[in-house]
Structure 1
């Protein structure tokens, strides 16, 4: 039986509650993989039963109860009776009673993010593990964001989950002495989630489209949890600056519109005000971080709405500071563009050429920037080749169309 309302309810629960449910299921056993399997079974069961029985009043609680009992059935079948199992058996009864009394499912996403940031887990696996466990993304969807083959990323995730269970990594917030390292990884995971949702990928499913809102929500919760830490405020400001321009990224016909050509009347000025507030608040705490600098760069890009654009050399200085704190390929490419605006395309091209070639072979922003600067310098043949490379590496039809139009103008 097909019931669109039931399917929509299941999709909404997956989009809004996957991370919370997985965190609760994993918290006592430390077995994320088994919890994922149980939750997957629960969603499959929902698609079978909700069209027949109706959508439950509390879909999250229904899914949690079914997943929890699937885990218990699996343990009984394998006759695994460790301490964690016995604890879960007791909690299952208590939780079912609480569900019956109308309790809501608590938000445990941040706790799970800190688990994924544990130093016992390999550093390259931490942010992808956060995106998979808290947001439900698969390796294929995430691979491009981490410049890694899906198979390689999948293997990292499997090893990371096994490590959590084998090492008995506690599902708790870190001690103050452990906070700096763990917090940086959590911030990176949240920003990776935002970036994954921000990118329009042809053929992508509906789930990632709500990632930007969820990442911002996590950012707000983290700021509330750690009010004396400036970098969560910097990250929240950065995401809000970007989010404020969402409506201006496409024309009425769906065409891609670059930042410097966007209609500022389509920007969300309430979100811009929030972003500026959080950035100013972070700046009073006396500890400059990379996310604060990135937010400051976005603030500078948005200043033209006040009729007072930031001098180009100021942007160069901000990128220099960002690279000093946290070098990255993206920041190097952006700095080259800032240099070109301040000192001419030849200077920008020199900065691009200074980046190791093997690090930008498949990095689309590098080739788009190179094509633009070559065209600005009148090197048309090389610019066309760079545009072709950028088009081939772009996952979005609107961006490909924009780059193709730029190439045709040559």
Structure 2
């Protein structure tokens, strides 16, 4: 089995193994650490020695031994906790000794997205506990020191335990709110991978790949939820453009200028089918509507042939059911394609006083684009340069600077 195949297997097994340990022993903090050590041991040994016959049992055994060793070093709790650990069977080879097949992934997702945690802590803990990524991998993806990410994850686990969170699915009264948090966390992970907020690379494929994998898993667990289907569809449709978004030197290529023959038609077909099917039986939610917008873009033969009136209509629906400044920003760009750049610029005016967007590089970038369409070259150039100064993504910064330089050269 290749190293990549081993990594994929381990990430699939990680939440299952953690679920087994937490159900037996409680103590999410200690169990999660033990599972990470078992995953590290497997990642080191399996590519060279081969995957064991029962890989999940192997991981449970190794993680349980790590727990036992840890508890033995804590003398004050030694007698009670070692006794519990020692009673556990050594799941090693026999098929009839496989751990129970109960899938705890959904419980873990809800636990990692506990309301006691900040958004960044939810993201980090989800990637580690459910995604099976190491602290070093998460730190690299988010361009922070490993020590910083380690502290963030440690504090997140402490807050979860301090909040008295139980390893059970939330009550029906709390489930919708918690599911929205889970969807938001997966969306944040995907977006950070698709357009990295900082650094020299536009994409972080490990994050988009993991977000899509987790969204597929959530779809498997909740097949009757339209918003889960909508989020997965949105990810697939967005990711379908990835190969065409950058040039040979890593430069950003905007949607209108992309070579659409490089778009992933399999992902487009899967995304369109998902959102079309979900909208036939589910009331439209924000992710479904965004997926429908992405589907219109994905199915257009060219930018000029895009059904912009339909996109504007869908943005009006989205603004009604989930109003936020980023929706208005995207709506303004679509309106400009139907009613002209002045109409789009008028929509942007309300965002200047909104703290969430007033200093955001995307507001300046969209304004620059619309000013350029309106023929106001000097104002557009100033806006492009303002956007370039505001972003911490080098590919975006280079693209914005190039746009500004072109306007200066065309004078």
TM-score, scaled relative to structure 1: 0.79
1:359 equivalent to 2:356? Answer yes
Question: Could you tell me how far apart the structure 2 residues matched to 1:189 and 1:102 are?
Answer: 32
Change (3 A) 1:124 1:209: closer
What is residue 109 of structure 2 aligned with on the other side?
A: 113
What is residue 232 of structure 2 aligned with on the other side?
A: 236
What is residue 299 of structure 2 aligned with on the other side?
A: 303
Question: Could you tell me how far apart the structure 1 residues matched to 2:368 and 2:134 are?
Answer: 32
1:57 equivalent to 2:51? Answer yes
Alpha-carbon RMSD: 4.1
1:261 equivalent to 2:257? Answer yes
Secondary structure at 2:199 match in 1: coil
Question: Could you tell me how far apart the structure 1 residues matched to 2:275 and 2:377 are?
Answer: 41
Question: Could you tell me how far apart the structure 2 residues matched to 1:77 and 1:293 are?
Answer: 53
Report Cα offsets for 1:257-294 as digits up to 9, x if no partner.
21122222111222211111111111122411111111
1:188 equivalent to 2:184? Answer yes
Matched-pair contact (CA < 8 Å) for 1:35–1:71: yes
Question: Could you tell me how far apart the structure 2 residues matched to 1:230 and 1:341 are?
Answer: 30
Change (3 A) 1:174 1:353: same
Could you list the runs of 5+ residues in structure 1 that have no partner in the other structure? 145-149
Alpha-carbon shift at residue 234 of structure 1 (Å): 0.9
TM-score, scaled relative to structure 2: 0.79
Could you list the runs of 5+ residues in structure 2 that have no partner in the other structure? none
Matched-pair contact (CA < 8 Å) for 1:110–1:218: no
Alpha-carbon shift at residue 134 of structure 1 (Å): 2.4
1:134 equivalent to 2:130? Answer yes
**Between 315-324 and 8-17, the greater mean CA deviation after superposition:** 8-17
The partner residue of 2:388 within 365, 379, 391 is 391
Report Cα offsets for 1:101-123 as digits up to 9, x if no partner.
78899864333102223456567
**Between 100-109 and 159-168, the greater mean CA deviation after superposition:** 100-109
What is residue 274 of structure 1 aligned with on the other side?
A: 270
Secondary structure at 1:169 match in 2: coil
Matched-pair contact (CA < 8 Å) for 1:391–1:403: yes
Alpha-carbon shift at residue 141 of structure 1 (Å): 6.4
What is residue 247 of structure 1 aligned with on the other side?
A: 243
What is residue 147 of structure 1 aligned with on the other side?
A: none
1:382 equivalent to 2:371? Answer no
Matched-pair contact (CA < 8 Å) for 1:248–1:257: yes
1:349 equivalent to 2:345? Answer yes
